[in-house]
A = this chain, B = another copy of it.
Amino acid sequence: MSKQAQPTDRPWDAYLGEADSAVVTKGKFGRRMGFGQRPAVVVIDAQKYMVGVADDDAAWPSSCGESGREAVRQIGRLVEQAQQVSVPCFFTLFEINPNGTDMGVYRLKRDLLDSDRWCLAGTLGAQMVPELTPSDNDVVFVKKKPSGFLGTPLLGYLVDRKIDTVIVVGGATSNCIRATVFDSSSYNFRTIVPQEGVFDRIPISHAISLFDMDRQFADVIPMEEVIEYLRTLPAGQPASEGS
């Protein structure tokens, strides 16, 4: 049986104890939001610098390695299914100007890496992974910070299409996915994270972020369940008001 078919396979279970479960039960945390009627898929930073190249990850300073490449395959399946029923997909690209003028305090925290395999605008690393192909119904846009919402037109795109459910995939789980999930649920979209569709560089950060999100801000569920939901939708899903 494939990994994604096992809803009980929760990456965080290994890290938690009974006291933690008692907190969740007492506070009534962790119920299911459930799917709404009009979903959109938001693909966060599915770019070459995030997933590197097999057997050459050392040359890619921000690569999430094999876990990223496996997630990209899963994201490909999700995007394909979404496109078949005209569910809109929004692809963010994280890009920094090569001269660093748009990097802000992140430059203090991390440094401006001088590499064409990082996320500098115009370089190899900033390109979308070739496994994903936006359709005419989809929108691609640049973001400058972790969240797909902050400082971008995403919110207006979702309102325009009357979206009520946001499916978030991409990476990294503990950074951009988590920031996007905070914003998505804070703006009151039902928020879904297919767990095989997100990835991170650090296993425990990945697992505990999934746990934290599932507890309060999103349904973290198997990719198979999400794809099955999309399959049940009638074709001809929400388009832009003006089209």
Contact = CB atoms under 8 A, between A and B. Distances in A.
A108 B155 contact: no
Given A104-B160, A136-B101, A217-B109, A26 B61 contact: yes
Name A's interface SS: loop
Contacts of A4: none
A191 interface: yes
A190 B241 CA distance: 9
Contacts of A15: 15, 204
A61 B209 CA distance: 23
Interface string A30-49: 11111010000000000000
A72 to B, nearest CB: 19
Contact of A156 (B145, B204, B209, B241): B145
Given A31-B111, A105-B242, 12 more contacts: A16-B202, A20-B203, A28-B61, A33-B109, A102-B139, A151-B153, A152-B152, A156-B187, A159-B159, A182-B182, A205-B211, A208-B208
Interface of A: 15-16, 20, 23, 26-34, 36, 61-62, 97, 99-113, 136-139, 144-147, 150-160, 162, 164, 174-175, 178-179, 182-183, 185-191, 201-205, 208-209, 211-212, 216-217, 240-243
